[in-house]
Amino acid sequence: MRHDLLTDLRPLLTAETAAEAHATGTEPADLEQAVWLRLLERLATDGPPLDPPGWLRRAVRAEVRRTRRATRFEQPYETDPADDRDRGPEQLALAAARRRALREAVHRLPGRCSRLLEAFLSPEDPTYQEIAGELGISQGGIGPERSRCLGCLRRLLAPEVAARQLRG
């Protein structure tokens, strides 16, 4: 039954997504995949729709609306934030000052938080396994420990960041 339903709906779905995808700026295949996923979720929970072609058309329109809403809030980077080629001397100096301030704050952290976050900031980009071995903690404990350390870093930096912002 499900295989027949999927086979029967394929041409309609292909046509509907081809017609609607251009308006959203997405690829028809991406939109088609999202609708297939919705159909499979429906089949797993509620069974097949009573009017499969009608359901499919409504599902395509719903995915199009969801995609439009999402793209309204997603802003692509104008440039790669790590790309320093087009930055002027002022931007480079400010970025260097921010990195220096972050490293100084990391060094002020208590316990092994300083060593853990230094490992994450390392240009060698060590794996969790390498970090765990160096710090003598379990690999599964790195995530929770990192979360606690980042919270501590946020609290440490909050007064500095708040003091620099204009108020009112």
- Give pLDDT tens digits for 84-99: 566 788 888 888 888 8
Alpha helices in the chain (DSSP H): 2-24, 28-45, 52-73, 89-107, 113-121, 128-135, 142-164
pTM, to two decimals: 0.45
Average pLDDT over residues 63-84: 71
Look at residue 80 and tell me if it is in a domain: no
Look at residue 84 and tell me if it is in a domain: no
The verdict on 123 and 61 lying in the same domain is: no
Q: How far from 37 is each of 30, 42, 80, 95, CA to CA, in Å?
A: 11, 9, 32, 43
How do residues 1-23 score in pLDDT, each as one tens digit? Answer: 566 887 888 999 899 988 888 77
**Burial bucket for residue 35 (CB in 10 Å: 0-12, 13-18, 19+):** buried
Question: Above 90 in pLDDT, residue 59?
Answer: yes
Look at residue 82 and tell me if it is in a domain: no
Residue 133 sits in a domain whose CATH number is 1.10.10.10
Domain count of the chain? Answer: 2
Look at residue 86 and tell me if it is in a domain: no
Look at residue 78 and tell me if it is in a domain: no
**Mean pLDDT, the chain, integer:** 83
The verdict on 159 and 102 lying in the same domain is: yes
Print the domain residue range for 138: 91-164
Other CB atoms within 10 A of residue 16 CB: 23
The verdict on 142 and 99 lying in the same domain is: yes
Q: How far from 167 is each of 155, 162, 163, CA to CA, in Å?
A: 20, 9, 9
Question: Above 90 in pLDDT, residue 57?
Answer: yes
User: d(Cα 95, Cα 38) in Å, to the nearest integer?
Assistant: 44
